[in-house]
Amino acid sequence: MTSRHVFVCGDPALDFAATLRARRSSGTEVLTAPAQLESWYLASGLVDSISPCTEADLERARIVREAVYQLVTDLRHGRPYGETALDVVNEAARRPAAQPQLAPPGRLTTATPQEALSTVARRAVELLGGPDARLLKECGNPECTRVYVDRSRGARRHWCGMESCGNRFKAAAYRARKRQAPALTVR
């Protein structure tokens, strides 16, 4: 299965929360099937192999994803964490996580879907409870609802990623400037 997962948020927990895109409009679901969830776990680099995911694993992952997004949103808006979201993420983080092993080719992390989800939840706990929490920003694209870690110099980044949102808006701004510029007349 070919996937087009995007990892531009600066942390796997944020990229996981971004698997429901355009939350304010179309709400495009990336994790449409258990195979897509497996594909995301592998593409994220959190695990090297994963046992097959079920519909129940997919449903649980979506619940944790929404809880992570809610906690990130609460933090960004200076609100106390929602109790339900906090319980969901903490419960998932308490479960056994994927454990890397040393193998002849190097590090190898084999996981069950539950272990992979626990790893994501733990990343969310580390992010929201760590120094990067103050660097969280939402993408400047009004249609995009990705939250990213802005580690840019001077925290001047406006887009989740140039390849996904930034290029599109910079090109649109350029075209708008060209339309507004007075035409040069040749004499």
Q: Is residue 185 part of a domain?
A: no
Residue 165 pLDDT greater than 80, yes or no: yes
Q: Identify which of 125, 131, 51, 54 has the alpha carbon closest to the alpha carbon of residue 88.
A: 125
How far apart are the C-alpha atoms of 185 and 183, rounded to whole Å? 6
Q: Is residue 172 part of a domain?
A: yes
Cα–Cα distances (Å) from 35 to 7, 22, 23, 52, in that order, read 18, 22, 22, 8
Pairing type for strands 49-50 and 28-29 reads: unpaired
pLDDT in tens, 14-70: 999 999 998 988 889 999 999 999 999 999 999 999 999 999 999 999 999 999 999
Local structure of 62: helix, strand or coil: helix
pTM value? 0.87
- Find the domain containing 26 and state its range: 12-180
What is the CATH classification number for the domain harbouring 143?
Answer: 1.10.3300.10
